[in-house]
Amino acid sequence: MPHLSDVDKQIRALQDEAISAYEEKLKGAQTRRELAAKSAQDRQGRLLAYMQALRLDSERLDHLDQEDEVATSDFLRQVRPSLIEQLHNQGEGVNFEIKLLISWQLSC
């Protein structure tokens, strides 16, 4: 029969192994994040170089993006209430149809 200290050593060894595996997993994830960040930075630099070569104004493009965001927000603010109302009305129509069907079945 194994001694308690032997079991304890085995448990500690398993815990140490699990911790080591987790640390390796974290290191791999960190490496992938660093590579992704470097790749994004390189891509951004190439994009900026292309824009300069094409003589595109990056500030103007940023301004257009901001205008698009404002226009989209305004559009949603105007349209969303009517869409919600349509959904609500559709739900009431379905409820009415269900109530009508139930009352018809009860009358038969």
Domain range holding 41? 4-56
Tens of pLDDT, residue by residue, the chain (108 residues): 567 788 889 999 999 999 999 999 999 999 999 999 999 999 999 988 888 888 888 788 888 899 999 999 999 899 888 887 877 776 666 666 666 667 676 666
- pTM > 0.75: no
| 8 found inside a domain | yes
Query: Contact 58/51 with Cβ under 8 angstroms?
Result: yes
DSSP assignment, residue 22?
H
Count how many domains the chain has: 1
| Gap between the Cα atoms of 80 and 84, Å rounded | 6
For residue 104, give both structure tokens: 């018809």
| 102 found inside a domain | no
